[in-house]
Every structure is written in structure tokens, then in C-alpha cells.
Structure 1
């Protein structure tokens, strides 16, 4: 009996039917169906399959609204609630808060530095010293005001940039450049918002200036700030439009909405459960949706956290810009793209929930990082409707963090071809390259299936992890 047959039988005992053809798993049970793009060389995990089918089966209590399509990309693996790498489309007036969770608008930002590796290598030690202080050691000066945050949450990013006090880091920024770069932030203009959904600390006294301890921080887990080298251009026309060539140094930033996202996400997962009518049987999965006006209100609250995540990545990028310029002089850096992978976006008459998946509409740039030490990719979306206009957000874990801790090696983990800077040694273990799937098959599968076209491959040079 081959592995695939054993897999089918194992799932069948749980009422799950699995078929595999041309790199795609078709799965279904009595409640739902979904498809998973996954090379045969990568494992299909039972827990992730169960989670995906549970989300694909979420309905309103009256069964009139709910999920209408579900799929997953090759970085598919179990999450705490929702499987990572999953995309769930629902009716336009229905949302599933737990499908996004608490790391709202976790996403990626790619910044060109305007310098090549040959130009930066002689300054590496000084650059690492500066960036370590700014990114990991609280050496940043990023004053904010309640007026600016109210503007961000009520009006949007443009109003935030206009209102922010011109002090500290903000006084050194090129604000005209920041305004221009808003157009390269995927989905940003579609987020709603209202300051009433934010914690009072951000919206209290109207002109109070304070220093938010989370603004300009990458966060833990798999979040990072990484200087990378353009190792290979794979689509020269798209790379030219993005302003990239072989040998350039770029900055890839992976971070989200930090504590504010946790506040909003947890509140609305609790709200969805509380709104379930008394006397109506609760769903066995424990997953709850919101319909009508409550769905709209959730999207408004989610937008508050999403806008904050954008501001957080912007500050991280500007900290790197500041330290680069202090180290080597003026640079011609520019934002290539900023993309979300943990949000709900209204598209094609549906609400598209992406949990660890990235929008990939035709012509849209996407960022797909590998593990720490592996390659990362810039890609162009091809707009594949069967995969809900999406692609993967990375390589995907193949080993839980708890498992990596149990296998703690005697010596330091990997600094052979790149440097990892962290103030927490356990992070090297938890995020070791071996804990993740190889990025190559993940990219190849999506290219062959018509989800993306790879533009450029980057290799890591210096990684900063909190």
C-alpha cells in the first residue's frame, strides 16, 4: 500500500474524502469541501485539513449566510484556530473573525536601499550595530499623539501622516515620499475604521504626545526585518518596473498589528460567540460568524488594526532608512510594495478571508519569504479565480515551535552564509531553517498552477529577530 492510499484510508475513517491529482488535493466531508495546492513532496497534515473543512462549513445560525468557497496554498499547515495558508470566501455580509485571529494585517513590506552589496559590505559592522539598537534594543525615538492616531483610525493613512508630530524619527522622514508610497500598499485604501474600536490609550486626550512601546517593533514568532541581496532576476521587465537588479540590497519587513491587533481580534472573536442566539445549538467547531450590520462593524474594527499594522511597518522601514543614511550617506531607497496576509477584503462580491495567504490579483506584486536562511521571492500575481486571487505568504512551517525546543542543538544555529541578530537565543532554535518547508517547491507549485510569476529571488544577508 502506498502512502497516498494510506492517507486516503486514514482520512476516510474520519469521514473525510481525499483525492489527489495534478498537485491538488480535493477534500470534502458531509459539511464542506475545499482544495489544497500542495506538491507531493510536502506533507498533508490531518489537523490542518480538519481546520480547513471546519472553516469552510461555518454558517450563520439561520443557515442563510456563510462560507461559499475554501482553498489553501502550499504553505498550508495547522494554526492555533485557522490553518495557515488558507483562503475562505464568504457571502458579502458575513465574516468569520477567528479566520483572521489577532495578528490582523500581519504582512510584508519590501524596500529597496539604493545600494549594492558591494557598497554596503564594508560598512556591515557599523550598520548591524545601529540597526540592532533601533530594531531590537529600544533605541528608537518615535513620538506619536492621540490626535494622529484618531486621524489614522477615523480618516486613514494620509490624515495620520499629516497629523503626526514632526519630532524624533518623524522629523527626519521625507513626508512627500511617504505620501507617494501609499499607492504601493496593497489593500490599504480599502480598510475602513473608527477610533471607537481602538484602546483608549490611543484616543484619549486629543493632543497628548506619547511613545507607543509597540510602534516600530517587529514582534516575536516568525516576524523579522531582513536585509537581502537580489540574487537572481527571473522576470526582467517586472524587476525593472520594481527598480531592482542583481546585486542590489533590499529590506524585507514582516510584522503586524501587535497588541492593538490582539485587542481588536480577541474582542471580536468573543463578540461573535456572544451573539449566537440563546437556545440555538452551538456549532461543534466552536467557530462563529457575524452577519449584516455586525459584519460591517467587525470590518470597521479590523480596519483600525490593519491601519495600525501599516503604520508599524512604515516605522520599521524608516528606522532602517535612517540608519542606512547615517552609516553610508544619502540613499535612493524606495518602497517596492507592502502586502497584507491576515485580513478580510471585499472582492468579487464576496468577503475574502486570507489567513497566512497573500492577495495575488493579475499584475499585483506579492512577497513570499522563505525560512530564516532560505531564499525569498518577489512575484507578480496572475489573478487565478480558482485559488481566490491569492498565493502563499511564505514557505510554511513543517515543525511546531514546541518540537524545535525539544530538539535544541548543542551549538548556535546557522550563521554560515548570513547573520542572524537576536536578543533571544531561543528564537534561533524556533525559527531554524529546518523547521520550515523548503521554499523552492512552494514557488514552483504556484507558478505551474498559474497563481504567480516569480520576479526576483533574494538571499538573506542580515536577519533581525526579536
Structure 2
């Protein structure tokens, strides 16, 4: 019996109708339906489907449907609560905090270096040592005024940059360049924020703080990776952002760290507490917020999302400065900074993306593979059926717990290099734990979600 037939029988027992045509699954139950873009070569996971339909079925405390549309991209796989690769739209007056969880604005940042691999490779060991020190061994120096954090949360990124003192990492930062690069950060201008939603330590007390999380990649699938531009797929688009074959680029994947956990966990609790007395709680334990509380959540989420942007800025500046110290002049430039786990108001609905990326027409996006597979720079095509989104990566094929139980296979790491202080990270994030990136990109290209700009191959990956 084929995998699809087995799935159909399993879902039928759970009263879920499953259809598959031209690379698209349609799943529905008595409460909701969703579509999933997934090539036949990649498995559809039953748990992820149940999670997606649970989110598509969420109602407000008044019993009104909270979800207008639900879909998933090809990196679709189960998450803790929401499936990774899911995109859910709600009315503007409704949000579902658990839809994006606690790693708010986990996202990616890509910078060119202006240097070719031929120029960088002779200094590889020295460069790795310097980057390991600042990225993994706590050698960073990021003194940040509390007034800068307050400005970030209340007014936004430009106000944050204006209030930084030229000390530590900020002394070597090109302030004008950073302010210009804000415009290349997708969705950043749509985020609100109020400092009252942040922990008090960020906005009161000492004049300057050294936040232990600012400038750290975090655990799990987060990384800082040196990559090489392997192939240009759209020479005009690549020229626009300074991508050249053979050049070294810097890809950063990190989020809002402890501040995001503070905001996300608090508001998932508040959504549950706001459920009306006397009304049965949903079996899924998924709660929507409606009205003024929804607006409050978006402000709180914006605080964490702006912090995640600042975290990626610091990571990028530290890498830029190590490159400049070793190779001289800094000709790097930002290609794009893209968010994953955020809610953005688009076309009169709130679009919740969990492990998915905005892909509006003409907008650049980043889709990484694994430490042993290619990453892609793409441009969105604004496909309405997929809520103007694309995948945020290849997607896990094997859960971390399973990978840890598997005996390491000899030779698996011959073609990839991971610099880490934790051997378990190398095991959990090994390339074989992820889906191949090729089918993920092909499915989205053929379905009209994206068009390719450049293919990048990993050179050296840093993981905390």
C-alpha cells in the first residue's frame, strides 16, 4: 500500500478528508480546511496535519471562527504547538499568540562581504578563531544604553540607532550604513511596540547594560554561516544586491532570545486567562484574542520582534568587524533581513507565519538548506493562494530526539564544517536531519510562490 493510501485511511479514521493533486494536499475536517504545498518525494506527517487543522479551527471566546485561511509551505513538519511552515490568516481584530510561539521574529539576515573565496580562504583558520571567540566564547562587547532600548521599543529601529554611544561593538559600526539598511528589513516598518511590554531591566536602572543575550545566535537551528555564492540564477536581481559568483557571504539565523520567551509565554497565558467564564475551553487548548487585547498583543509582539532585529544587527556587526580587522576595508552590504515568526497585517487580515517567510511580489527572501546543503536567495511572486508566503528553510526530516538516538555515521561530516562548543549541536543539526533543499525550492518555483536569484553553498557554520 502506498504512503498516500495509508495516510488517507489513517485520516479517514480521524474524520479528515485528504486529497492530493499537482503537488498540493487539501485536508479538511468538519471544522476547517487547509492546503499544503508538498512534492510527492517528501513525506506528509500526520501529526503536522492535525496541528494545522487545529489552528484552522480556532474560534474566539464568542464562538466565531478566528481563521480566514490556513496553508503550509514545503518545509511543513510538526512543531511544539503550531506546525512549522504554517501560515494562518485571521481578521484584523483577532490574533492567536500560540501561532507564532515564543521565538518571536526568529529570522534571517544576509550580507555580502565584497570578498571572494580565493581572498578569504588563506586566512580561514585565523578567521574561524576570531569569529568563534566573539560568537561562541563570550568575547563580545555590546554596551547598550537603556535609553536606546526604550527608544527601540517605543519608537523603532532608527531611534535605537540614534541613541547608541560609540563604545564596544558600536564604536566600529557604520551608523549611516545601518540606518540605510533598515529599509531592507522586511516587515520591520509594520511592527509596533511599547516599552512597558519589555522586562524592566531593559528600560530602567543602570544607564548602560550588557544584555547577556544581545549578539548571540541561540540554540537549535539558529546559526551564523559563511557561505559562497555558487550560482547566479537571476543576474539582474543578483547585481541589484551585490551578489557575485565565488564571493563569500554571511547568513545569520537568530531570534528574540529570552525577551521573546518572556513576551510569547506571557501572552499565551493571557489568551487562556481571557477565555470567558462558563464557556468550554477548546480541546486543542489554542486560544484567540479578540478586540483590544489583540491590539495589545501586537504591541508586545512588536517589542520582541524589534529586539530580534537588533540581535541580528549585533551579530552582523561583530562578523563585519572581524572581517575588516583581518582583510582591511569593509565593503559589506545587507542583502535582506527577513522575519519568520511574526504576525503582520496584510490586505486587511493578520497573517501569522510560523516558520514561513513573507514573499510579496518583488520582495527578497532567504531559504536555507542545512550545514551540508545549499541555501537560496529568492524573490517572492506574491501568490495569494499561499498568503504571499514561502518556506523559511528545508524543514526537519528527523526530530532532534531521534537524531540523538541514532549512532553517528562515519564520514557524514566530511563535506561540511560546524564550529561549536557543544557536540550535541553538531549531531542534532547534521545535514541528514533535514529535508533536501532541491525539492523544496522546485515545488515553490513551479507553484509560482518564488523565483530564484542565487544559490549559496555552506563553507563554515557556527552554532551555539
The alpha-carbon deviation at position 65 of structure 1 amounts to 4.8
The alpha-carbon deviation at position 413 of structure 1 amounts to 5.0
Q: Which residue of 1 aligns with 2:395?
A: 396
Q: Could you say what secondary structure the match of 1:351 adopts?
A: strand
Ranges in structure 1 where 5+ consecutive residues have no aligned partner: none
Q: 1 CA distance for matches of 2:103 and 2:316?
A: 19
Q: How does 1:138-149 map to 2 (within 5 A)?
A: 138-149=138-149
1:35 aligns with 2:35: yes
Q: Could you say what secondary structure the match of 1:361 adopts?
A: coil
Q: Which residue of 2 aligns with 1:286?
A: 285
Q: How does 1:147-158 map to 2 (within 5 A)?
A: 147-158=147-158
Q: Which residue of 2 aligns with 1:368?
A: 367
Q: 2 CA distance for matches of 1:417 and 1:125?
A: 17
* Residues 223 and 462 in structure 2, CA contact (< 8 A), matched pair in contact too: yes
1:298 aligns with 2:292: no
Q: Which residue of 1 aligns with 2:9?
A: 9
Q: Which residue of 2 aligns with 1:463?
A: 461
1:442 aligns with 2:440: yes
Q: Which residue of 2 aligns with 1:219?
A: 218
Moved over 4 A (4+): 410-413
Q: How does 1:312-461 map to 2 (within 5 A)?
A: 312-409=311-408, 413-414=412-413, 416-461=414-459
The alpha-carbon deviation at position 335 of structure 1 amounts to 0.3
Q: How does 1:43-192 map to 2 (within 5 A)?
A: 43-192=43-192
* Residues 192 and 299 in structure 2, CA contact (< 8 A), matched pair in contact too: yes
| TM-score, normalised by the number of residues in structure 1 | 0.98
The alpha-carbon deviation at position 64 of structure 1 amounts to 3.0
Q: Which residue of 2 aligns with 1:25?
A: 25
Describe the shift of the 1:412–1:41 C-alpha distance in structure 2 as closer, same or farther (beyond 3 A).
closer
Q: Which residue of 1 aligns with 2:240?
A: 241
Which deviations, in whole Å up to 9, do the C-alpha atoms of 1:183-231 show, x marking residues without a partner? 00000011000000000110113x6111000000000000000000000
Q: 1 CA distance for matches of 2:409 and 2:3?
A: 34
Q: 2 CA distance for matches of 1:378 and 1:454?
A: 6
Q: Which residue of 1 aligns with 2:258?
A: 259
Q: Could you say what secondary structure the match of 1:67 adopts?
A: coil
Q: 2 CA distance for matches of 1:409 and 1:126?
A: 29
Which deviations, in whole Å up to 9, do the C-alpha atoms of 1:150-204 show, x marking residues without a partner? 0000010001001122111101110000000000000001100000000011011
Q: Could you say what secondary structure the match of 1:444 adopts?
A: helix
Ranges in structure 2 where 5+ consecutive residues have no aligned partner: none
Q: 1 CA distance for matches of 2:263 and 2:71?
A: 26
* Residues 65 and 91 in structure 1, CA contact (< 8 A), matched pair in contact too: no
The alpha-carbon deviation at position 120 of structure 1 amounts to 0.3
Describe the shift of the 1:371–1:410 C-alpha distance in structure 2 as closer, same or farther (beyond 3 A).
closer
